[in-house]
């Protein structure tokens, strides 16, 4: 699967804790971009950053100097002026409008990175998911992200700050066992003669040679039976080796790819999915037929089964569909959102979508399990009437 283009949108005033308490750490924008590019590559097969914009009132005290570093890193600085007293939301609104414009006009951008801890961006994240985009959230380590935002994005990145050594003047000598440094004039002068080292109360006697030889003989005697058993053990191990290899091979083929602490590496699994359909959908009926064709592929079905077992969210399912049908889009099929399109297309299959509440994304489930919160299927008439 080809690398996916990345766009980065930085809420600069939120990144540095707001205009009233700007706290700009000693971290370059170039370093921030490298971390984001690396995270997008690892989690979503992201390539180079194609679009990078930072939003703030760059005339604010403290930001005017940092602006030069931002622009040197190749990030476009977007000047935001507030037309009301609601200064805080001015950058947020411009960022959201810009982000949705890029999503609509540049279809080749697949991965969107939003650098902010602000929960106001949750609706933006959900809309990007409906447009089949992968969304990464990021902020600095001392700025706790909103709980809902952290849950809604596909991945949340905590940006690392390089540890700064203290200035030379601030360095202090270290003393063991809680010793304190005494002033130079009060320290005792070193004596020219060293105090004699204390002798041990009992001197150790060298071990007699006879004892060593006796011990060696005894050890050799004990080892004899073990040596005699070696050929038998070797033959048994050789006999068991093919069975061990077959068992390991079977386990490896059955186990899903994992990343980190026992998590399934969905992106690695999606890379194994072949292109099943190469054309766009022209109508809701066409969209449904393509989804049915995609689900008939064994790799997609295996991916979907594992996803349903884990209660995987919609963006992960969208990633598999994107791999199997790269040009398939709900908007081309004249269906307003991905969740509605799939509720229509999955009707009559073994899969469905379910959602615990309006605050969380839909997940893929098996119909046979009759899970709570399963969303009803949509008919073609529902789609045309705009039933939600």
Higher pLDDT, 254 or 112: 112
Q: Is 266 exposed, middle or buried (0-12, 13-18, 19+ CB in 10 A)?
A: buried
Secondary structure letter of residue 144 according to DSSP: P
Q: Which of 31-45, 204-218, 242-256, 297-311 has the lowest mean pLDDT?
A: 242-256
In sign, the C-alpha dihedral spanning 138, 140, 141, 147 is negative
Q: Among all chains, which residue has been given the structure tokens 């005894």? A: 218
Judged against a pLDDT cut of 90, whether residue 298 lies above it is answered with: yes
Confidence of residue 336 (pLDDT cuts 50, 70, 90): low
> Residue 258: its pLDDT value, please?
39
Confidence of residue 302 (pLDDT cuts 50, 70, 90): very high
Is CATH 3.40.50.1010 the classification given to domain 4-158? yes
The fraction of the chain above a pLDDT of 90, given in percent, is 21
| Residue ranges covered by each domain of the chain | 4-158, 266-385
Are 119 and 149 within 8 A, CB to CB? yes
Judged against a pLDDT cut of 60, whether residue 127 lies above it is answered with: yes
Q: What is the rounded CA–CA span in Å between residue 377 and residue 346? A: 8
Rounded average pLDDT over 293-305: 92
pLDDT tens digits for 245-288? 544 444 433 434 433 345 677 777 888 999 999 998 888 889 99
Are 324 and 271 within 8 A, CB to CB? no
Beta strand 134-139 pairing with 109-115? parallel
Confidence of residue 227 (pLDDT cuts 50, 70, 90): very low
């Amino acid at each position: 699967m080809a690398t996916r283009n990345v766009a980065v949108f930085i809420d600069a005033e939120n990144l540095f804790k707001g205009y009233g308490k700007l706290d700009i750490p000693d971290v370059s924008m170039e370093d921030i971009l490298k971390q984001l590019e690396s995270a997008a590559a690892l989690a979503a097969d992201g390539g180079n950053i194609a679009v990078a914009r930072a939003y703030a009132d760059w005339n604010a005290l403290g930001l005017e100097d940092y602006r030069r570093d931002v622009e040197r890193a190749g990030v476009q600085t977007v000047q935001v002026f507030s037309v009301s007293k609601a200064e805080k939301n001015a950058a947020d609104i411009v960022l959201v409008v810009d982000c949705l414009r890029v999503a609509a006009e540049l279809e080749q951008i697949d991965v969107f990175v939003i650098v902010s801890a602000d929960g106001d961006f949750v609706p933006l994240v959900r809309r990007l998911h409906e447009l089949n985009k992968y969304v990464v959230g990021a902020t600095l380590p001392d700025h706790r992200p909103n709980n809902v935002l952290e849950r809604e994005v596909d991945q949340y990145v905590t940006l690392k700050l390089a540890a700064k050594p203290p200035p030379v003047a601030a360095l202090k000598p270290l003393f063991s066992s809680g010793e304190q440094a005494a002033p130079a004039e009060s320290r005792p002068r070193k004596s020219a003669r060293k105090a004699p080292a204390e002798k041990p109360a009992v001197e150790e006697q060298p071990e007699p040679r006879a004892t060593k030889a006796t011990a060696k003989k005894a050890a050799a005697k004990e080892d004899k039976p073990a040596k005699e058993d070696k050929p038998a053990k070797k033959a048994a191990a050789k006999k068991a080796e093919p069975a061990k290899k077959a068992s390991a091979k079977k386990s490896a083929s059955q186990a899903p790819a994992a990343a980190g602490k026992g998590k399934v590496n969905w992106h690695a699994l999606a890379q194994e999915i072949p292109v099943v359909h190469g054309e766009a959908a022209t109508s809701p009926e066409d969209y449904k037929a393509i989804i049915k064709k995609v689900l008939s592929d064994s790799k997609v079905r295996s991916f979907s089964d594992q996803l349903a077992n884990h209660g995987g969210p919609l963006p992960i399912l969208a990633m598999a569909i994107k791999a199997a049908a790269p040009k398939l889009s709900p908007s081309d099929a004249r269906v307003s959102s991905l969740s509605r399109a799939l509720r229509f297309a999955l009707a009559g299959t073994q899969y469905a979508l379910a959602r615990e509440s309006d605050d969380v994304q839909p997940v893929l489930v098996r119909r046979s399990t009759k899970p709570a919160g399963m969303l009803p299927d949509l008919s073609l008439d529902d789609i045309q009437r705009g039933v939600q």
